[in-house]
Amino acid sequence: MNGKNNIAIGFIVMGLFMAYGFLIIYLRDFAPNAKEWAESYSVGKHFEARLAHVHGNLFAFLNILMGYLLLHFQDKIKNTKIISWLALTGLLMPIGILAEIYLGLPPYLVLVGATAMTVSVVWMGISFLKFKTKA
């Protein structure tokens, strides 16, 4: 079913990135090097961690919304499966940021995820512009 997985995975990913927010709070306020972490607010790992947290929740929410719309309008929108998979692939963007921070990986996942999410959102918008309504 197109859209169902976007909703389910969107909620799961949102919960995980919300929990990651607690880690960021710990690092900022309670960790042994909290002062240094807080002082690096706009640079380095602190900045990247906040980017991952924000984009993870945003992209999870977009998956929930797009999944709902794909389910609700599946008979009026073409290529729902492709749009669905592109939106899910978009989750690689915030995961890629975490992979950069903690594993030192290059930003390829970030680029793939960001591109996939952008294409899915634009494609969804075009699909709604082409929407045929009955008078």
Give the pLDDT band of residue 9 (cuts 50, 70, 90): very high
Q: To the nearest whole percent, how much of the chain has pLDDT over 90? A: 70
For position 1, what pLDDT does the model report? Answer: 66
67 part of a folded domain: yes
30 part of a folded domain: yes
- Separation CA 22–CA 109 (nearest Å): 24
Give the pLDDT band of residue 135 (cuts 50, 70, 90): low
112 part of a folded domain: yes
For position 41, what pLDDT does the model report? Answer: 72
Whether residue 83 has pLDDT greater than 90? yes
For position 27, what pLDDT does the model report? Answer: 85
Whether residue 38 has pLDDT greater than 80? no
134 part of a folded domain: no
- The pTM score is 0.90
For position 65, what pLDDT does the model report? Answer: 98
Q: To the nearest whole percent, how much of the chain has pLDDT over 70? A: 98
Please count the structural domains in the chain.
Answer: 1
Whether residue 116 has pLDDT greater than 60? yes
Give the pLDDT band of residue 67 (cuts 50, 70, 90): very high
Range of the domain at 103: 4-129
Average pLDDT value for the chain: 92
135 part of a folded domain: no
17 part of a folded domain: yes
26 part of a folded domain: yes
